[in-house]
Structure 1
């Protein structure tokens, strides 16, 4: 009876310890959403200590990943790199396969970090590693949501990377592929699908395919307003700003239509201002005002 009682007591302690960890993680996420990053990190450290005390390995991995993401978002790049590498080592030592989605996702985050460091070789190798393993899994028949969602995400990240280095033809192909997969698994109205249309427009603009850029952005605008998902609506002002910027690019190339193009740019910019206020997007509001200032100065010439 004494042994049984001790066993039950240990199980209760473990359960209460797990509940405590979950509660602290929830509080950390809430603090993160409120941009209270220091408080969020402190709560995650407490949760990690509790996870070590009850030897809850899944919780440890989850918390370290959250801590790394926190560091990543607050610009503490070196700390994020160390946490991601430590987490990957722990997963591999626990027997997780190199081509497991968890390893691939962390590798992609590291590749993004290396892109920020301007360590281009490491970034390129990281993205190629991820895409190679995901394509191999898909060729072998993997068709689950998680694998395809991860593939679409990494194609988009790699597209951003090559776009930033001036290879707009390749970035366009990557954004198109990411969009195609996202539409398949998420639907055409999903924020990630809309983001790829916006990304495609950015590549088209720098390839001087301005009509294609406007078509992509107009499609994104129509789809975002049809369903009005929270994330999609928050991005809506940027689509209007980007359309305005495409028109401004056309002004520089065609003096004959300058007056009409400036009117169209102004109309898009006003919509951006209205949407930014509506969804309370401060960054978009600043960008829209900057865009309007540029339009006004061009109209004054």
Structure 2
């Protein structure tokens, strides 16, 4: 264990002690987390000089996973175990609740989960209780109810530890990451940073310890999932650092996340494209325009080749970069192309961002004409 990790873990233990005192008894990266859609970058890039002053608020990633899935998966998936009627009823309600969340029917999902929780307590199934709490926490997280989500995630961790889940388990770290994102969104910086660093260092240590283990002890799929979860943690921490204007540190995190994504998911993966664009935005914000252009060009080429769903975002980012370099003709052409695609997607955030870029471009063209 590294000295830095030793400093961080007492913070986690303090958090865990607080969790236990609550005692509430009633309540990209895709491959690493079942059922989690890759998070697109919506509207504006991670940071650009135009929007830097308005980008100080950390926006947590959209996470719809259930970290406790693995605690309950055998009960859900193994038909040979012989489920009781009560267990079948719980599974039915859980699946309905997950479907409601995916369809955006949040009120219905919450009602279903409260009913499921009562059934799980009646059945005295700790796995079902844990999984239900985790889904309830995710639902609150998605709705921006961060105080509620924090309490529910902490309760989930208590049940997980009671089930014997270790603190370096991927499911435990994933919830720790969500808590870090909540603390970041609530501007509780010390807890946020400690949480992000705990997740990253724990996974770094785990990867190092397991790299030479045989397939019988740790499968290649498990090792890949751990690396992908590390990539997600690096990505999330990078966005926090950007929101707090720590651009060089954010750049390092993005570079590490990009390396993992390339190695584990390939050059053509949508998350690779997103990370290339984000890294370009951070370099752009530092005034390193040539380096930024290299990355945004890679992102755009791959996005066009693979029909990436967020080509309009990447086009907007490239146009903004060209605008800052005073390549007005090229910037205008790409802004217009981005606007057409954004309107086709009905992405209001991106449309507004691109229109602002076109207004700025028009202003600069007028200034040039007046100066001549």
- TM above 0.5, yes or no, is yes
1:139 aligns to what?
208
The change in CA–CA distance for 1:189 and 1:58 in structure 2 (over 3 A counts) is farther
The change in CA–CA distance for 1:63 and 1:172 in structure 2 (over 3 A counts) is same
The change in CA–CA distance for 1:15 and 1:244 in structure 2 (over 3 A counts) is farther
For residue 356 of structure 2, the aligned residue among 280, 290, 293 is 290
Cα distance, 1:89 vs. partner?
A: 1.4
For residue 30 of structure 1, the aligned residue among 78, 99, 115 is 99
Give TM-score scaled by structure 2 length: 0.69
For residue 170 of structure 2, the aligned residue among 90, 101, 104 is 101
Cα distance, 1:104 vs. partner?
A: 0.9
1:149-160 correspondence to structure 2 within 5 Å: 149-160=228-239
SS at structure 1 position matched to 2:165:
coil
Give structure 2 stretches of 5+ with no counterpart.
Answer: 1-80, 212-219, 368-372
What is the alpha-carbon distance in structure 1 between the residues aligned to residue 334 and residue 210 of structure 2? 44
Cα distance, 1:225 vs. partner?
A: 2.2
Determine which structure has greater relative contact order: mean sequence separation of CA pairs < 8 Å that are 6+ residues apart, divided by chain length: 2
Cα distance, 1:46 vs. partner?
A: 2.1
The change in CA–CA distance for 1:130 and 1:249 in structure 2 (over 3 A counts) is same
Aligned residues of 2:126 and 2:159 also touching (Cα < 8 A): no
SS at structure 2 position matched to 1:140:
helix
State yes or no: 1:265 paired with 2:331.
yes
Cα distance, 1:16 vs. partner?
A: 3.8
1:276 aligns to what?
342
1:3 aligns to what?
none
Give structure 1 stretches of 5+ with no counterpart.
Answer: 1-10, 252-260
For residue 61 of structure 1, the aligned residue among 130, 138, 141 is 130
1:117 aligns to what?
186
The change in CA–CA distance for 1:33 and 1:268 in structure 2 (over 3 A counts) is farther
- What's the C-alpha RMSD, in Å, of the aligned pairs? 2.1
